[in-house]
Chains A and B, each alone.
Chain A
Amino acid sequence: MPFRLPKQGAPQILAFLAILLADRLVSPQFFDLRLQDGRLFGSLVDVFNRGAPVALLSLGMVLVIATRGIDLSVGAVMAIAGAVAASLVDTHSVPLALGAALGVGVLCGLWNGFLVAVLRIQPIVATLILMVAGRGIAQLITEGRIVTFTSPQLAWFGNGSILGIPAPVAITLGMLLLTLFLVRGSALGVLIEATGANARASELAGIGTWAVTIAAYVWCGLCSSVAGVIAAADILGADANNAGLWLELDAILAVVIGGTSLFGGRFSVILAVLGALIIQAMNTGILLSGYRPELNLVVKAVVVIAVLLLQSPRLAGLGHWFNRNRTI
């Protein structure tokens, strides 16, 4: 057979292709690509480009969810990182501004990880603190204004390109490969899955579950800060109120669509990113079709419910029950 669908993730790939096809039906120019000023343009490129921030968030989120946690603060961390980068870049060097923004992301991740792993606070509550306070901190940094900047180097992160590929897409791809290398190139991925599946058993087996958990939150913080820099670079400014607003929900949704269970355990980084692209393809499709963009929320809600119902332990139980009856 010349082409076979991979065993895992076939539903997601088929869904993505189906949505792209639907997009093609509503907008005949959907697959048109053109090269201008050394950068690719077109609706399809837009799907990847616009989906980059959520894809980056889902990279971190998938690891956190695999440890049986959740990170509600990613949107707020995006706002903080964007605020730091934008307010530093015009007075300091670009590497320093970037380093500070990413450093802040790591710090936020450490804080979340500390609350969850050391103080043992429920993840949804622990990260709620930073979600509430984080936006306030971002506004404190920008002094409540929208801080604009002129640095072309930082703007590159939003509008630049590498070999014709838009910079956000290239960065996301880089982060995806790096994440894959870290979790699948070493035992870290297995340790994360073990921690999520049964923390107690893992600890008895000698896994430092607290270190694994903190690592997952730190990675999530780092990915969020990269997404924050891209979001700020995209509009040449940091908007503490709106940067990353509600994106935590999209990121969780992307992970869920990617088939990772909210109860922890097995996870797939690639499928989570694919989940983010599916969401973006739907968004773009609704925009192109001329329906009101408000429809998006309803469609998203229906997709969440449908995917969750498929994942539901109760439904899986029913499946087993049917199978058992058939074999008897």
Chain B
Amino acid sequence: MRRLLPVLVTTAVFVAGFILCSLQFPHFASTRVVANLLTDNAFLGIVAVGMTFVIISGGIDLSVGSVIGFTTVFLAIAIGRLGIPPLIAFAIVLVICVLFGAAMGAVIHYFEMPAFIVTLAGMFLARGAAFLMSTESIPINAPLYTDIGKLTIVLPGGGRLPLIADIMLWVFVVGAVLLHFTKFGTNVYALGGSRQSTALMGVRVAPTIVRVYMLSSFLAGLSGIVFSFYTAAGYALSAVGVELDTIAAVVIGGTLLTGGAGFMFGTLMGLLIQGLIQTYITFDGTLSSWWTKIVTGFLLFAFIGFQQILVRLAKRPTSLTPEATP
């Protein structure tokens, strides 16, 4: 029960927020709003699934935003300038992303370096590579892109769920199965609990860590592909700061930042809460967009404080500082 509490609170916050918004704006509770909520946050959701794995394993991945930017530019150049068929370009870019993630995971594990500084270097590298390919926004006008825009599921009530929202929901489903029902998922939880105990239990730590970062970078690449569907362009400056939004979504979703605890469903809720704040601001019309950042910051604080209380209740006061790692 205690394990489920953070997720339940997050879900309650989302439901309460949605009801409040619906009471204030008569047309808020419609499938159109929900569909837009899912579509506008599709790329963020896909990265958040990968980030959930990374954070539960006790790490952090700051490179995801840059990888998205890199992917969009790569696709724009490969499809638009070199004329590579889109599906082959997708495959190439995903392979590059997976290799990139594997390299970061290997450096983190074998050189025993803090994940955040390694992925920080990865962030510079991916963003720099994107800039070196092109500093301008390049439009992508392949026929596939216009076709995908037409693939929508019409929901009752007039809402349209485009393909990218479907992809996001499927990634969540697959991610949840992988995290909660496979051996790999169990190993990820164990790693976040204690790396040493996990190794002593006989789990092979190295492949697990490398795979976690491979998965995160793969999903960042997939998210970049979805982002390019969304904007039909490649731009090196796209998705700047997405890593922070993603981490915020995961933490608001009740995942412990120290690792070892959390649920995929919570991340979906955290994502939707952030989307809800933005939708509210759009509906209101008088509030400025910077309130999003302030409210997100406040929610982050509230949820981290809440987690801290839960953790302390669970552990009982054992005195003195827990090892603080940067």
Q: In the docked arrangement, what's the CA distance between A132 and B124, Å?
A: 20
Within 8 Å by CB of A199, from B112, B117, B122, B324, lies B324
Q: In the docked arrangement, what's the CA distance between A291 and B129, Å?
A: 14
Within 8 Å by CB of B294, from A122, A123, A136, lies A136
Is there contact, CB below 8 Å, between A133 and B296? yes
Is there contact, CB below 8 Å, between A309 and B111? yes
Q: For A119, give the chain B residue with the smallest CB separation.
A: B308
Is there contact, CB below 8 Å, between B116 and A124? yes
Query: In the complex, what residues of A have CB within 8 A of residue B107's CB?
Result: 305
Query: In the complex, what residues of B have CB within 8 A of residue A144's CB?
Result: 288, 290
Within 8 Å by CB of A312, from B112, B116, B321, lies B112
Contacts from B to A (Cβ < 8 Å) = 60, 107, 110-114, 116-118, 120-125, 127-129, 131-132, 135, 236, 244, 247-248, 251, 257-258, 288, 290-294, 296-298, 300-301, 304-305, 308, 320-326
Residues of A in contact (CB 8 Å), total: 57
Q: In the docked arrangement, what's the CA distance between A131 and B320, Å?
A: 27
Query: In the complex, what residues of A have CB within 8 A of residue B290's CB?
Result: 135-136, 139-140, 144, 240
Q: For B245, give the chain A residue with the smallest CB separation.
A: A132
Give B290 Cβ to nearest chain A Cβ, in Å. Answer: 4
Query: In the complex, what residues of A have CB within 8 A of residue B247's CB?
Result: 128
Total number of residue pairs linking A and B with CB closer than 8 Å: 151
In the complex, chain A residues 233-273 whose Cβ is within 8 Å of any chain B Cβ: 240, 249, 252, 256, 262-264
Query: In the complex, what residues of A have CB within 8 A of residue B123's CB?
Result: 249, 301
Give A117 Cβ to nearest chain B Cβ, in Å. Answer: 9
A-B contact pairs, 15 of them (CB 8 A): A125-B251, A126-B304, A132-B296, A136-B292, A140-B291, A140-B294, A199-B320, A249-B124, A294-B131, A297-B125, A298-B125, A301-B122, A301-B125, A312-B112, A314-B111
Within 8 Å by CB of A68, from B112, B120, B135, B326, lies B326
Within 8 Å by CB of B60, from A124, A126, A256, A301, lies A124
Give B72 Cβ to nearest chain A Cβ, in Å. Answer: 16
Is there contact, CB below 8 Å, between B248 and A308? no
Is there contact, CB below 8 Å, between B112 and A313? yes
Q: Quick check: is A304 within 8 A (CB to CB) of the other chain? A: yes
Is there contact, CB below 8 Å, between B320 and A128? no
Is there contact, CB below 8 Å, between B125 and A129? no
Is there contact, CB below 8 Å, between A308 and B308? no
Q: For A294, give the chain B residue with the smallest CB separation.
A: B131
Within 8 Å by CB of B128, from A134, A203, A298, lies A298
Is there contact, CB below 8 Å, between B326 and A123? yes
Residue in B120, B135, B291, B324 with the greatest tally of chain A CB atoms within 10 Å: B324
Give B105 Cβ to nearest chain A Cβ, in Å. Answer: 14
Q: For B111, give the chain A residue with the smallest CB separation.
A: A312
Is there contact, CB below 8 Å, between A296 and B300? no
Give A244 Cβ to nearest chain B Cβ, in Å. Answer: 14
Q: For A131, give the chain B residue with the smallest CB separation.
A: B244
Q: Mark A277-316, 1 if CB is under 8 A from B, else 0.
A: 0000000000000001011111111101100110011110
Query: In the complex, what residues of A have CB within 8 A of residue B111's CB?
Result: 308-309, 312-315
Query: In the complex, what residues of B have CB within 8 A of residue A294's CB?
Result: 128, 131-132, 135, 236
Is there contact, CB below 8 Å, between B324 and A116? yes
In the complex, chain A residues 140-182 whose Cβ is within 8 Å of any chain B Cβ: 140, 143-144
Query: In the complex, what residues of A have CB within 8 A of residue B293's CB?
Result: 132-133, 135-136, 139
Query: In the complex, what residues of B have CB within 8 A of residue A137's CB?
Result: 294
Within 8 Å by CB of B114, from A134, A240, A262, lies A262
Residue in B248, B251, B308, B326 with the greatest tally of chain A CB atoms within 10 Å: B326
Is there contact, CB below 8 Å, between A298 and B326? no
Is there contact, CB below 8 Å, between B291 and A65? no
Q: In the docked arrangement, what's the CA distance between A203 and B322, Å?
A: 12
Q: Quick check: is A69 within 8 A (CB to CB) of the other chain? A: yes
Q: Quick check: is A101 within 8 A (CB to CB) of the other chain? A: no
Q: For A296, give the chain B residue with the smallest CB separation.
A: B128
Q: In the docked arrangement, what's the CA distance between A200 and B257, Å?
A: 22
Give A93 Cβ to nearest chain B Cβ, in Å. Answer: 28
Is there contact, CB below 8 Å, between A130 and B297? yes
